[in-house]
Structure 1
Amino acid sequence: MDSRSRRDILKLSSIVIMAGLAGCTSQREPTSDAINQEQKTRIEELEALVKSKDKQIEELHREDSISEFSTDIIERAETMARDARNATVTVGGEGGSGGTGWILDANKGYVVTNSHVVIDNNSFSIQTFDGDSSSATRIGYYEDMIPDVALLQMDLEGIQELPIGDRSNLTKDDPLVTIGHPGTIGNWIMTLGRHKEYDEVFDTLYSTVPTSRGNSGGPLLTLEGNVVGVVSGSRLANDSEDDFSKSDVLYTQLPERDKLTTSAPVETLLESVDEWT
């Protein structure tokens, strides 16, 4: 039995349980305190069972999303990312603008993010995973967002920085991780994908690491925890040429085209930092 069919069965069982709950919450007057307590106990048992089934469904969804990776890779990625979260921050500007940042140099308080995150402001609010906050000033960025990297400076002490890797050591399909703040999901979200290619013409790394609005500026990490890129956005994958014209399907949600996440190589970032500091 595949995971999808198991998930469907779990959903069905949850519906049956909910039906049982509905039966237990009848508006008829109880005949005694004992019966009333028995109904209350039964309702609590069924509610606990529904929560258990829902948890199993979530776990199966998770299995579907990461099934292409071995258990060893998943465990290594999770362990590394949980540690790297301590060096990943939220970057907030005026008017609701913001994104993700990460600590490049703890002693100097250098925070890396994207130019498009900081282009409209000079000062920013920073928050760490532990909940510490600080103001930060813009040290350098590019108005044309080429490359889409920027540098801030804050004055927090006792912060953790991320080690720098080497883009040239990447090979196709190497596992990669990012940590970011996709606003519709939450903050410090860890995602796992694969390296696809380095585009020398556009000086861009392409990967399948899932990202969304708010991930901008986040670190692209190897399983060893080394930064190889700065997440900047996405583009359609080369094979995303599906044409849904004249489809007979009545969509309740538009189909999504496959996208690749774009990142500026860490070497390009370091060259910019040398220019600004």
Structure 2
Amino acid sequence: MKQRTTRRRLLTATAVGAVTSLAGCTELQASLVETTEPTDESSRPTAGTEQADATKSRADNQQVQQVGKSIRPAVVSVNTQTSSTAGGSGTGWFVAENLVVTNSHVIDGASSITCWTLDGDSFEPEVLNATDHRSPPYHDVALLQTDFSAPTTLSLGDESSLSEGQTVVQVGHPFAIGNWVIASGEYVRDQKFGDAILTTTPNMSGNSGSPLVTLDKTVVGLTTGGVPKHQSSRGPNEAPEPVEPEVYHSYQDATYATHDPASLVEQYLNDWTSG
């Protein structure tokens, strides 16, 4: 759910082969792109530059994949039942031996909750506490407690250390892609939506509750949803700017992913587990 017309393909390949379908790029579209490339050889990068960029891209993707694979065992699929016929799902992750963090909207109204691990084990946690995500300040944090022993845990860090353009990694369960999907994007500086931090990480339904980590595997955010780019950067007293009069077939690339900051999550967890 990123970008607008530039289509920078922020779906960083880490969506394990399903990135192409997210970007909406068919073979026909790819061939059309090729025919519109400049024919002036002087405007093309040199072969050496192309090879260097490709090598760097592969190295970056390999590092992101390694980070994603290493944190996947700490991530769980959260499945809820709200009635005999209705249910929902999202993502959560072990922050401590018997504690799972997710979004409050993921477990809102659930009569039962079942979590699944990467290894195929399941457990039914209890809700220890949760914020009211519908009311100001619209924080979206929930803490689940279980007797199940975590295979591994993730450590909360400090989002203030993030720099503009810094690579971040997310693991979650986007419905249209699959489970334990690795995705990557960049931190967006000075763009906030309430208390949320923003990234260009691919995000869709099912990613709610995903951990957002840096390349050192430290959690810097809890994925909550998305916000349109053209709305997030406008002040309350500024007139809205019209977009270019182009025809969209997908709005997926026109959104920033939103995440509750790690420091905020840590504050709630400390309050809920103290005493």
Do both proteins adopt the same fold according to a TM-score greater than 0.5, normalized to the shorter chain?
Answer: yes
Once the two structures are TM-superposed, the CA of residue 226 in structure 1 deviates from its matched residue by 0.7
CA offsets per residue over residues 127-176 of structure 1, 9 Å max, x none? 00111110011011122342111100122125210122210110000000
Aligned length: 211
SS of match in other structure, 2:125: strand
**Structure ranking higher on relative contact order (CA contacts 8 Å, 6+ apart):** 2
Q: Cα distance 1:222–1:135, how it changes in 2: closer, same or farther (>3 A)?
A: same
Letter in 1 for 2:188: K
C-alpha RMSD of the superposition: 2.8
Once the two structures are TM-superposed, the CA of residue 204 in structure 1 deviates from its matched residue by 1.0
Q: Cα distance 1:157–1:254, how it changes in 2: closer, same or farther (>3 A)?
A: closer
Larger Rg: 1
Once the two structures are TM-superposed, the CA of residue 242 in structure 1 deviates from its matched residue by 2.4
4+ runs of 1 displaced by more than 4 Å?
A: 7-11, 66-69, 198-201, 254-257
Q: Cα distance 1:241–1:206, how it changes in 2: closer, same or farther (>3 A)?
A: farther
| 2:10 aligned partner | none
Q: Cα distance 1:243–1:120, how it changes in 2: closer, same or farther (>3 A)?
A: farther
Segment drifting more, 212-221 vs 66-75: 66-75
| 1:236 aligned partner | 228
Letter in 1 for 2:197: L
| 1:105 aligned partner | 96
The two structures have a TM-score, normalised by structure 1, of 0.69
Where does structure 2 lack aligned partners over 5 or more consecutive residues?
1-26, 32-52, 234-240
Bigger helix share = 1
Contact 1:123 1:138 (C-alpha < 8 Å) held by counterparts: no
Letter in 1 for 2:144: L
Where does structure 1 lack aligned partners over 5 or more consecutive residues?
1-6, 12-65
| 1:164 aligned partner | 156
Does 2:190 match 1:194? no
Once the two structures are TM-superposed, the CA of residue 237 in structure 1 deviates from its matched residue by 1.0
| 1:79 aligned partner | 66
The 2-side partners of 1:83 and 1:194 are apart by 19
Letter in 2 for 1:180: G
The 2-side partners of 1:69 and 1:231 are apart by 27
The two structures have a TM-score, normalised by structure 2, of 0.69
Once the two structures are TM-superposed, the CA of residue 181 in structure 1 deviates from its matched residue by 0.5
Letter in 1 for 2:272: W
